[in-house]
Amino acid sequence: MGRRRRRRRGPGSGRGASRRRQTPRRKILITSVSPAGDVNSSSPTIRATVEDREGYYLSKHDIDLYLDGEDKWFSYRRATGELKCPTGKLSSGTHTVEIEAYVETDDGGDRTGRKKWTFNVKK
């Protein structure tokens, strides 16, 4: 189940000034994220839609998902942009999810989309 990625970055990396160079606009959208708020299940499934605004397809290798800072396995349907990640059994309390997606631009640069949110497991 090992994933091969084009780039290996940790959560929140790559935010320096060198990453701000001008490249053609390709915007990655990460929407429809769940769970959020209070969750009664100790084993929720993380869900999101990850897509390029210009309609270019992303592959699973273009996406990283972290739960509480730990790299997680997930499934991704390229045709719909649907991402799913089973969490396994989680402890009570607040948990943080971060999704990062990367695409290369036509001039050899790249664009990054990020979404970070929390949810609270209540038992």
Per-residue model confidence as pLDDT tens digits over 62-114: 999 999 999 999 999 999 999 999 999 999 999 999 999 988 777 777 788 99
Q: Please report, for residues 29, 31, 58, 61, 111, the alpha-carbon distance to residue 78 in angstroms, rounded to integers and kept in the order given.
A: 14, 15, 6, 11, 18
What pLDDT score does 46 carry? 98
Question: Residue 3 domain-assigned?
Answer: no
What is the domain range of residue 107? 24-121
Q: What average pLDDT score do residues 15-38 get?
A: 69
Question: Residue 58 domain-assigned?
Answer: yes
What pLDDT score does 12 carry? 45
CATH number of the domain bearing residue 41: 2.60.40.1220
Question: Residue 83 domain-assigned?
Answer: yes
pLDDT per residue as tens digits for the range 29-73 = 999 999 999 999 999 999 999 998 877 778 899 999 999 999 999
Question: Residue 8 domain-assigned?
Answer: no
| pTM score, whole prediction | 0.76
Number of domains in the chain: 1
